[in-house]
């Protein structure tokens, strides 16, 4: 689904760059699926970020700015650590879980909800999964 | 402080409690204003994309977390509240649950006989349908098979719906973002609509932030967009649910006089288990939820199982994987079956607010509840495998849709926030009948009980 993405919002180019890089680790493409960056759902990220509490977005923004320039192996390590947060001591486990939920909410959910950039022309995730809902109105 | 009351009642929150109270009181002749933080939608305007739906219809996009980030709490934010985004399952509390409430609260009216009148009124206010055998999709059949193989009982679910047209190919899962047919009996198409016909004033997108009680007037202050607005009435009814109602009272300084405020917060923590099958299941087609476990074993085990499913974005969100593994898993979306575990948790949490007024939810499952959750997941795994699942995937995130307590009802003001007349202790013009007054977690879908209690309060207030 392509819609009019917000042109402004809490996340600027640096945060979007980090989210796109993380998105390509979480959803790299394959088996017919486009990658996160190919689908272009980053265009919608500010629509989701704006409903979260402002202090959460500010904290996430700081993390993303650092991740925008982090080497790729750091992003892969972070994705593993977030999913295995329970293995870490409490003071690390809590922020890792929070980060995992926040990032998956901004990357994984919009991707599999088939939100695309306006110029995306390939098969959407819904089409790859052969998923549709029949909405009868009458 | 506003000088005079503009309304007889101001009702904050438009879900299963606020909707009933606003509709009933307005129809009884009172002048009411219904305040809701979210937007107003119709069957034609509900968002169709699931991600956009979560962002627009749920508080914080559905990502309210406990302080450890281990549990997500979902609550509706739109006119109709949770009744718009829930599964519309309507069950009475059973004798055991009501006896437990009576014992904890000291309130004798929690009995099947005395609640019958209010349940009947709530049931009469909605169209109710039992999901019949012909409506059971393959996911429901797997649920049936699993229970039969384990000698366990199950029942059909009763849902608040008028005409879901699943026999003509409609897919009900779409209604998790609001019902596009107007079939689901959410508050906006039932009680609120009837109230509006009688003159009810509805103010959406008003975020209530502070409450003040005067001698004969209650005023609520908040934001509507960038504007600060206030509404005053002779009496106020808080119906913001088990997170919103305690938060509003805490942020209004009521904690000093109400020692139980924010305590006894309870929930029914849920976890989905997905079985990957070789053949197509198409759990998202038709009536996507039809059955629930039943019987004495489940009561003893303090959990129940439901056949349910979720749209792709939600399934991927809670899948314990990423990268190529996630794509491989999601490629099999149509081959997934799902059974959900819901715990009747003993765990009690605490709600606080920080300096900025933000809610802090302290809720960490006790060992007994963790053990029950693990046992339930083991049983579900066996059921799915017995039906042919190649692999079972348990989600990494637990979540709670049924949120209760925080302003519990009781006969002792030291350990309760609301008395038997639903009045906030020491504040006779302030009432609550939403799920925040539940004395404990009943292990049964709360929507009908919230409506029944709200009918009881509406009856008392309209004389």
Concatenated DSSP letters for chain A?
-B----SSSS--HHHHHHHHHHHHHHS--BTTBPPHHHHTGGGGHHHHHTTS-HHHHHHHHHHHHHHTTS-HHHHHHHHHHHHTGGGS-HHHHHHHHHHHHHHHHHTHHHHHTT-B-TT--S--HHHHHT--------
In this structure, are strands B398-400 and B71-73 parallel, antiparallel, or unpaired?
parallel
Q: Is A69 on the interface with B (CB under 8 A)?
A: no
β-pair partners for B342: B270, B304
- Kindly list the residues from chain B whose CB atom is less than 8 angstroms away from the CB atom of residue A102: 63
Q: Do B312 and A79 touch (CB under 8 A)?
A: no
What ipTM is given for this predicted complex?
Answer: 0.95
- In the predicted model, is pLDDT for residue A5 greater than 70? no
Locate the chain B residue with the closest alpha carbon to A107.
B317
* Nearest in space to B451 (alpha carbons), one of B82, B137, B203: B82
* CB proximity A92 to B under 8 Å: no
Positive/negative CA dihedral, B415, B420, B423, B428: negative
Looking at residue B397, the DSSP 8-state letter turns out to be: -
B280 touches chain A (CB under 8 A): no
- Euclidean distance between CA atoms A45 and A26, whole angstroms: 16
Copy the structure tokens of residue B119: 């349940």
pLDDT > 70 fraction of chain B, expressed in percent and rounded: 99
Locus of tokens 């009868």: A136
Span B92-117, average pLDDT:
98
How far is the C-alpha of B141 from the C-alpha of B33, rounded, in Å?
Answer: 46
Cα separation, B209 vs A27, whole angstroms: 40
Mutate to test the interface with B, among A51, A63, A76, A132 (most CBs of B within 10 A): A51
pLDDT in tens, A63-91: 999 999 999 999 999 999 999 999 999 99
User: What 3-state DSSP class applies to B22?
Assistant: helix
Are A131 and B61 within 8 A, CB to CB?
no
> How many other CB atoms sit within 10 Å of the CB of residue B333?
26
As given in the structure block, the two tokens for residue B130 are 């039992």
- 8 Å CB contact between B219 and B211: yes
A112 with B316: Cβ contact below 8 A: yes
% of chain B beyond a pLDDT of 90: 96
A134 touches chain B (CB under 8 A): yes
Give the tokens for residue B346. 């003993």
Say if B67 is an interface residue toward chain A (CB within 8 Å): yes
Residue B442 reports pLDDT greater than 70: yes
**A27, B327: Cβ pair inside 8 Å?**
yes
- Could you tell me the pLDDT band of residue B19, with boundaries at 50, 70 and 90? very high
Residue whose structure tokens are 């917060």: B265
Q: How far apart are CA B175 and CA B246, in angstroms?
A: 29
CA distance B362 to B88: 28
Please name the residue of chain B whose CA is at the shortest distance from the CA of residue A25. B323
Q: Which residue of B has its CA nearest to A46?
A: B55
Per the document, the length of chain B is: 463
pLDDT at A1 over 70: no
Mutate to test the interface with B, among A112, A115, A130, A138 (most CBs of B within 10 A): A112
Distance CA A129, CA B319 (A): 16
Do B265 and B38 form a contact (C-beta atoms < 8 A)?
no
Q: Could you give the CA distance from residue A47 to residue B21 in angstroms, rounded to a whole number?
A: 34
Q: Which residue has the tokens 């089409």?
A: A127
Residues of B whose CB is below 8 A from A26: 322-323, 326
Cα–Cα distance for residue pair B88/B82, rounded to 1 Å: 9
How far is residue A66's CA from residue A63's CA, in Å, rounded to a whole number? 5
Coil, strand or helix: which one is B231? strand
Ranges of beta strands (E only) in B81-143 are: 128-130
Q: Residue B256: exposed, middle, or buried by beta-carbon count in 10 A (0-12, 13-18, 19+)?
A: exposed
Average of per-residue pLDDT across B314-329: 97
- Is A9 near chain B, with CB under 8 Å? no
pLDDT score recorded for residue A6: 47
Residue A33 sits at the chain B interface (C-beta within 8 Å):
yes
Angle (CA) B88-B93-B98 rounded to 5° is 150
Q: What is the mean pLDDT of chain B?
A: 96
Nearest CA to CA, how far is A109 from chain B (Å)? 4
Distance of alpha carbon B204 from alpha carbon B166, whole angstroms: 32
User: Average pLDDT, stretch B344-362?
Assistant: 97
Q: Is residue A2 predicted with pLDDT exceeding 60?
A: no
Closest partner CB to A113 (pick from B50, B62, B171): B50
CA A16 – CA A65 distance, rounded (Å): 9
Name chain B contacts of A27, Cβ cutoff 8 Å. 322-323, 326-327
In this structure, what token pair is assigned to residue B46? 């509900």
**Mean pLDDT of chain A, nearest integer:** 93
As a whole number, mean pLDDT of residues A45-63 equals 92
* Mean pLDDT to the nearest integer, B135-146: 95
CA distance B302 to chain A (A): 25
The answer to whether the Cβ–Cβ distance between A94 and B68 falls below 8 Å is yes
3-state secondary structure of B334: helix
Nearest CA in chain B to A2: B49
Q: Establish if A137 touches chain B: CB-CB under 8 angstroms.
A: yes
Least confident of A45-54, A99-108, B198-207, B253-262: A45-54
How confident is the model at residue B3, as a pLDDT?
Answer: 57
Which residues does chain B have within 8 Å of residue A44's beta carbon, measured at their own beta carbons?
51
Whether chain A has a CB inside 8 Å of the CB on B49: the answer is: yes
Segment B382-430, tens digit of pLDDT: 999 999 999 999 999 889 999 999 999 999 999 999 999 999 999 999 9
The partner residues of B39 in beta bridges, in order of sequence, read B78
- Residue matched to tokens 């949490």: B349
With CB atoms and an 8 Å threshold, state whether A53 touches B358. Answer: yes
β partners of residue B229: B222
Q: Is the pLDDT of residue B134 over 90?
A: no
């Amino acid at each position: 689904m392509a819609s009019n993405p917000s042109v402004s919002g809490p996340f600027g180019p640096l945060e979007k760059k980090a989210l796109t890089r993380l998105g390509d680790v979480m959803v790299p493409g394959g088996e017919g699926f486009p990658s996160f960056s190919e689908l272009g759902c980053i265009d919608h990220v500010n629509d989701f970020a704006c409903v979260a509490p402002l202090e959460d977005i500010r904290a996430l923004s700081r993390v993303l700015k650092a991740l925008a320039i982090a080497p790729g192996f750091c992003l892969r390590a972070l994705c593993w650590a977030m999913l295995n947060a329970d293995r870490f001591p409490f003071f690390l486990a809590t922020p890792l879980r929070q980060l995992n939920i926040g990032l998956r909410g901004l990357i994984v959910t919009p991707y599999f909800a088939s939100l695309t950039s306006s110029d995306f022309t390939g098969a959407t995730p819904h089409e790859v999964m052969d998923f549709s809902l029949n909405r009868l109105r009458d | 402080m506003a000088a005079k009351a503009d309304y007889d009642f101001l009702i904050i929150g438009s879900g299963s409690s606020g909707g009933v109270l606003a509709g009933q009181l307005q129809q009884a002749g009172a002048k009411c204003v219904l305040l809701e933080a979210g937007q107003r939608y119709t069957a034609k305007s509900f968002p169709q994309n699931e991600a956009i739906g979560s962002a627009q219809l749920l508080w914080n996009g559905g990502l309210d977390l406990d302080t450890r980030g281990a549990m997500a709490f979902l609550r509706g934010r739109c006119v109709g509240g949770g009744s718009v985004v829930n599964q519309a399952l309507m069950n009475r509390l059973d004798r055991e649950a009501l006896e437990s409430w009576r014992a904890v609260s000291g309130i004798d009216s929690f009995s099947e006989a005395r609640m019958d009148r209010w349940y009947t009124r709530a049931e009469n206010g909605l169209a109710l349908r039992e999901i019949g055998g012909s409506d059971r999709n393959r996911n429901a059949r797997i649920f049936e098979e699993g229970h039969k193989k384990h000698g366990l009982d199950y029942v059909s679910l009763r849902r608040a719906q008028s005409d879901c047209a699943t026999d003509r190919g409609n897919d009900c899962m779409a209604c998790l973002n609001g019902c596009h047919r107007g079939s689901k009996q959410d508050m906006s198409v039932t009680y609120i609509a009837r109230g509006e016909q009688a003159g009810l004033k509805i103010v959406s997108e008003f975020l209530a932030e502070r409450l003040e009680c005067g001698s004969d007037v209650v005023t609520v202050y908040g934001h509507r967009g960038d504007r600060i607005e206030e509404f005053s009435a002779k009496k106020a009814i808080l119906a913001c649910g088990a997170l919103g109602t305690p938060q509003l009272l805490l942020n209004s300084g009521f904690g000093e006089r109400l020692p139980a405020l924010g305590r006894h917060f309870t929930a029914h923590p849920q976890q989905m288990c997905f079985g990957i099958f070789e053949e197509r299941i198409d759990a998202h087609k038709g009536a996507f939820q039809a059955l629930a476990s039943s019987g004495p074993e489940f009561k003893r085990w303090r959990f129940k199982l439901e056949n349910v499913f979720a749209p792709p974005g939600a399934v991927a969100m809670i899948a314990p994987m990423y990268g190529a593994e996630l794509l491989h898993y999601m490629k099999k979306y149509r081959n997934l079956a799902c059974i959900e575990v819901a715990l009747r948790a003993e765990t009690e949490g605490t709600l606080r607010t920080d300096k900025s007024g933000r809610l802090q939810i302290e809720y960490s499952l006790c060992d007994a509840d963790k053990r029950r959750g693990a046992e339930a997941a083991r049983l579900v795994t066996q059921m799915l495998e017995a039906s042919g699942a190649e692999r079972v995937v348990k989600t990494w995130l637990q979540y709670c849709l049924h949120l209760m307590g925080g302003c519990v009802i009781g006969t002792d003001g030291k350990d309760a926030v609301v008395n038997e007349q639903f009045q906030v202790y020491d504040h006779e013009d302030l009432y609550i009948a939403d799920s925040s007054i539940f004395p404990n977690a009943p292990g049964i879908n709360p929507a009908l009980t919230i409506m029944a209690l709200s009918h009881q309060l509406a009856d008392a207030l309209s004389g």
